[in-house]
Homo-oligomer: A and B are copies of this chain.
Amino acid sequence: MTNIVLEDMGSFFVGGRDVEVRGRDIERVWVTQDLPDFAYDPNGDFTVEQAYVQYFIPATRVSELPVLLQHGGGLTGASWETTPDGRPGWLQHFLRAGFAVYVIDNVERGRAGWCALDDEWPGRPIVRSWQEAWWLYRIGAAENYDSRTPFPGQRFPITAFDAMNAGHVPRWTSTPPLQVAALKAAIERIGRCVVIGHSQGGDLAQKAVLDMPDHVPAAVFAEPSGLPETIEGLDVDGRSFLFLMGDYLDATPLWVDLTARIRETAAALAARGADAEYLALAEHGITGNSHMLMMDDNSDALAALVQDWILKRV
């Protein structure tokens, strides 16, 4: 494996807003055994709803445009790193290929933190169980979870299924508008770039980038879990969008329905002048991919496919 030569690396926080809390009582809390009676004042000013962005800039670059990776729901930027079975992830692939890479932890995920202040976010977070991941990620049929029998030809590394589940974090269902706003703020700070969004991140990415023609000439929506409410009035002429899908798309009504909408959206974008492609890998001889394209056993070949698609367009 070749070395990764970085000219720079680091991180920043972007977006968010400030909240003032006043009028609450001081609490006595245990912090360490040497600070067992700390006077915790819940009043004050707080920063909430920011996103965290970690970046890596190779010394030699194959494109002026960096890649921005937006994780899926209940996940963080860690999903782009080492695969659950220990292989280099898409982050390392794009760095070795010579792209500057920005990895976001969007609002409430990972290092972005989340809002624990009262009355700011409605509802409570949900968490993905192993069972839900099994069928939702199209690793196998729900009824075959207990026996851990995957779909025939499955490329997700089954022996690392448990390890993959350690990467799940809580998520709110009310935060997507905040996440779209933070993703837009990140793109504005980074400048012109190619955005790659996975799953919920594919939904967020479409909502963030479709009306940013000056910032995002090309984007990849990998297995998006949602589509834009409308594409009317958007300036997509000459811009490039790839909708990338794995296999087993007929496995559940949820994926049958989503796939139909994804195909329709790609066609509607193309009708408005975009270079928009719906690419279901299994229809082109690449079978066995789960929802977790960047973790499957051919993840590096898929990254190379995405890389080629990008370099032909920007």
Contacts and interface: CB of A to CB of B under 8 A. Distances in A.
Interface of A: 1, 3-13, 16, 21, 27, 29-35, 38, 40-47, 50, 52, 54, 59, 73, 76-78, 81-82, 86, 88-89, 92, 105, 110-111, 113-114, 116-117, 124-127, 129-132, 162-163, 165-170, 173, 176, 200, 203, 225-227, 229, 254, 257-258, 261
In the A-B complex, the 5 residue pairs with the smallest Cβ-Cβ separation, listed nearest first, are A44-B129, A32-B226, A113-B169, A10-B82, A13-B166
Contacts of A13: 163, 166-167
A131 to B, nearest CB: 4
Which label, helix, strand, loop or mixed, suits the secondary structure of the A interface? mixed
Given A3-B5, A32-B225, A173-B31, A47 B168 contact: yes
Q: Within the oligomer, what is the number of copies of this chain?
A: 2
A81 B7 CA distance: 15
A45 B261 contact: no
A20 to B, nearest CB: 9
B131 A41 contact: yes
